[in-house]
Structure 1
Amino acid sequence: MKDIFSTAPLHHTAGSPAPSKAAFSVLSEQDFANACSEIMAWEGYEATPLVSLAGLAEQLGVARIDYKNEGPRFGLGSFKALGGSYAALRVLQRELSAKLGREISLEEIRNGDHRDACAQITLVSATDGNHGRSLAWGCQRFGAPCRIYIHAEVSEGRAEAMRDLGAHVIRIDGDYDESVVLAKTEAEQNGWFVVSDTSWEGYTEPPRDVMAGYSVMTREICETLEDAPTHVFLQGGVGGLAASVAAGLRQFYKDASPRVVIVEPDLAACLFDSAKAGKATTFAIAEETIMAGLSCGEPSEMAWEILSEEAADFLTIPDSIVAPTVRLLANGETGDEVVEAGESAVAGLAAVIAARQDQALSETLGLDETSRVLLIGSEGVTDPAIFEAIMAGADHV
């Protein structure tokens, strides 16, 4: 394995996993069932591939590595297609039911029965790219106007992808967390509705629906695997993906649920710092990471409630090992199926590779020749220009 993984500075802090309540109360089994039932009825739904990286597993000395490739999801390139669009549908359902004085079904909205009414309901969100693309896609399908707020470092390719889906895109000079504040402020001023993947005090329903939507991915994994994984390495960000997957695995496998390892950029380690502090903690981002979708300084309170009980380990990784991991997958360097992945998708895989070069860290994480590792390949090539630059040898884009 390349020297860059052997010398990469990974930092570890232990979580405080406890008998899980939040995995069943914050996100209930019924929340997951409702989301799966709806999303699996959408036109174009297909389960995404669970790719076996057997060659890499052999090289790393683990029993198996399974990589859930979310690149093909609804043609949008990322797992976010499951969350933002479903949450948008649920916001429209609540608002239309209140306006029309009767319970409006998701099917009615999905089938276009209320497009004129939906056209009067503006949905907004801040994004690093993929969540906004999902929201824009959902709004286009359901007939609602969409405004997306992006920060200075979001690539123009990702911005254009959202415009192509009909979104009005507003770029600010600040970072992701500042774009969240602006989206909230302008929504309050104009009577718009925020559809965010992060929660805060008094704002929980859309983020819960976003995380419920992600459960489709977890259900597909559990129904495909013959044996429970021993470990799952999950990208950080605000924590929504990680919390949803951790809760879904706990609900399915109960006491046999895998060890949850959270992986973040060392440049945006809000969950790592939260674990160290024992409470949700904001991280001051001074420099943007190559993993654009994980550049988040403030954790979702709802997600943290789950992760504080479920996560056994928190890791940070340097940007230096991200591009080599993208190339490793895309070039089939280990003899495995070729996977074209985005920068944020490979965080967990990069961490596993680097951790296996460090015997002490492997022992800390309980990684050995019997380990069955699950990874969430959260995005495909969502920005072709960045992917091409990485494949041409660039390690920073």
Structure 2
Amino acid sequence: MTQHFDPAKIGHVHVDPTPGAAAEEVLTRADFARAIAEITQWPGYAPTPLHRLGDLARELGLAAILYKDEGPRFGLGSFKALGGAYAGACVLQRELSRRLGREVALEEIRSGKLAGEAAKITLASATDGNHGRSLSWGARMFGAPCRIYVHRDVSQGRIDAMRDLGATVVVVDGDYDDSVRAAREESEANGWFVVSDTSWEGYTQPPRDVMAGYGVMTNEVTGAMETPPTHVFLQGGVGGLAASVTAALRQAWGKAGPRVVIVEPDLAACLYESAKEGRATPVAIAEETVMAGLSCGEPSTLAWKILSEEASDFLTIPDDYVAPTMRRLARPEGKDPAIKAGESAVAGLAAVIAAAGDESLRAALGLDAGSVVLVIGSEGVTDAAIYDRIMAGAAR
């Protein structure tokens, strides 16, 4: 049977979203269309699976749970493969167009025709692992040098994966937000180009490109569903994934789109606190969460514009929900497919399991026997050593 989680460990804030047009204006339909047209031409592109977890849904008293499995994405293990590499291509396109005095096409960059010129442009970013891996992979494809900044708690396996793709990896003695600052400062000093998945004042275009790239994933979801889900549970982090999926779902289904529920680790709950405060609010990270890709203390201002208008519920979950959820996916009961999911992938599903099993929270979120819930399995096995320990019974 399904693991029963202690509902007392869940934080929940319900808000009435501020009406606005951010879902159409921050990320436009043209932004998504351009990204889809480019990324679907990349070598190795294939839609990732949308699994139906029928037996789990029946156990939880829901009509359906749909799990979008991003583990196979371009062999890189996560949805981030779509964003970092695409944003890197867009940065190169803009800079090469300026240097060459003509409009450079993305096809020229993708094909390597301008690799000689791209070799003079260094792309840099901070990461917890997956974004940097995507940018490293894209930079290698395009012929550009890549410099990645990670914080001290990023696992050696994730560091090695980026180095294997040709990136120079710099370990910063601090947390994720410290690595973001280091990437910005050293790039400004050396004339490198930051390709970040989070925005700040005066820096919005690359994060917008990153989120547009994620639209490929949501386009695959909407193309596979005849009717919209009633709910979507989305991992937090800086908010880029959640904002991109939310905007794309709103554009596809309008007011018939799902209720948007944001899920974060209680150790890194910047969007939850932002919802409480009614504005983008950073938090200090005192302890790193096992959900490494979600260990972010400062929300993306660009993403928050969308989420503040579209998300109605913000949840926090503890780390001890993660391992049981990963094991349930890997060793399903009944006829559900076996899925290898990373630590950050299962936050949304863990919150669904917890909420559906608690009468009060179930009612507060409007979950019932007719609910069709979409979750994004944002990563597969991105560090085999950590995954094996969890499968063997460890908490992290």
For residue 9 of structure 2, give the secondary structure of its aligned residue in structure 1.
Answer: coil
Match of 2:19 in 1: 19
Q: Distance in 2 between matches of 1:325 and 1:335?
A: 17
Name segments (4+ residues, structure 1) moved above 4 Å. Answer: 1-4
Q: In structure 2, do the counterparts of structure 1 residues 332 and 102 end up closer, same or farther at CA, with 3 Å as the change threshold? A: same
| Contact map agreement 2:218 2:248 (CA 8 A) in 1 | yes
Match of 2:325 in 1: 325
For residues 48-87 of structure 1, the C-alpha deviation after alignment (integer angstroms, 9 at most, x for no partner) is: 0000000000000000000000000000000000000000
For 1:388, give the aligned amino acid: D
| Contact map agreement 2:239 2:271 (CA 8 A) in 1 | yes
Q: Distance in 2 between matches of 1:75 and 1:207?
A: 23
Shift of 1:158: 0.3
For 1:19, give the aligned amino acid: P
For 1:393, give the aligned amino acid: G
Match of 1:177 in 2: 177
For 1:326, give the aligned amino acid: M
Match of 2:230 in 1: 230
Shift of 1:2: 5.2
Q: Distance in 2 between matches of 1:326 and 1:40?
A: 29
| Contact map agreement 2:45 2:74 (CA 8 A) in 1 | yes
For 2:112, give the aligned amino acid: G
Match of 1:88 in 2: 88
Match of 1:196 in 2: 196
For 1:240, give the aligned amino acid: G
Q: In structure 2, do the counterparts of structure 1 residues 186 and 249 end up closer, same or farther at CA, with 3 Å as the change threshold? A: same
Q: In structure 2, do the counterparts of structure 1 residues 16 and 334 end up closer, same or farther at CA, with 3 Å as the change threshold? A: farther
Shift of 1:112: 1.1
Match of 1:386 in 2: 386
| Contact map agreement 1:8 1:321 (CA 8 A) in 2 | no
Shift of 1:8: 5.5
1:33-48 pair list within 5 angstroms:
33-48=33-48
Q: Distance in 1 between matches of 2:7 and 2:187?
A: 46
Match of 1:151 in 2: 151
| Contact map agreement 2:128 2:176 (CA 8 A) in 1 | yes
Q: Distance in 2 between matches of 1:372 and 1:3?
A: 20
1:119-130 pair list within 5 angstroms:
119-130=119-130
Match of 2:160 in 1: 160
Shift of 1:12: 0.3
Match of 1:209 in 2: 209
Shift of 1:111: 1.1
For residues 9-51 of structure 1, the C-alpha deviation after alignment (integer angstroms, 9 at most, x for no partner) is: 1110013324340000000000000000000111110000000
TM-score (norm 2): 0.99
| Contact map agreement 2:3 2:324 (CA 8 A) in 1 | no
1:171-320 pair list within 5 angstroms:
171-320=171-320
| Contact map agreement 2:2 2:56 (CA 8 A) in 1 | no
Match of 2:105 in 1: 105
State yes or no: 1:348 paired with 2:348: yes
Shift of 1:4: 4.7
Q: Distance in 2 between matches of 1:195 and 1:352?
A: 33
| Contact map agreement 1:8 1:354 (CA 8 A) in 2 | no
For 1:274, give the aligned amino acid: S
Match of 2:31 in 1: 31
Shift of 1:3: 5.7
| Contact map agreement 1:8 1:317 (CA 8 A) in 2 | no
| Contact map agreement 1:328 1:334 (CA 8 A) in 2 | no
For 2:192, give the aligned amino acid: W
| Contact map agreement 1:23 1:251 (CA 8 A) in 2 | yes
For residues 118-139 of structure 1, the C-alpha deviation after alignment (integer angstroms, 9 at most, x for no partner) is: 0000000000000000000000
| Contact map agreement 2:2 2:59 (CA 8 A) in 1 | no
Shift of 1:172: 1.2
Shift of 1:6: 3.8
For 1:257, give the aligned amino acid: G
Identical columns (%): 66
Q: Distance in 2 between matches of 1:44 and 1:19?
A: 40
Shift of 1:142: 0.1
1:130-145 pair list within 5 angstroms:
130-145=130-145
Structure 1 segments unaligned to the other structure (5+ residues): none
Q: Distance in 1 between matches of 2:349 and 2:264?
A: 12
Shift of 1:227: 1.4
For 2:161, give the aligned amino acid: A
Q: Distance in 2 between matches of 1:249 and 1:158?
A: 31
Shift of 1:113: 1.1
For residues 155-177 of structure 1, the C-alpha deviation after alignment (integer angstroms, 9 at most, x for no partner) is: 00000000000000001110000
Root-mean-square deviation (Å) = 0.9
Q: Distance in 2 between matches of 1:62 and 1:51?
A: 15
For residue 170 of structure 2, give the secondary structure of its aligned residue in structure 1.
Answer: strand
Structure 2 segments unaligned to the other structure (5+ residues): none
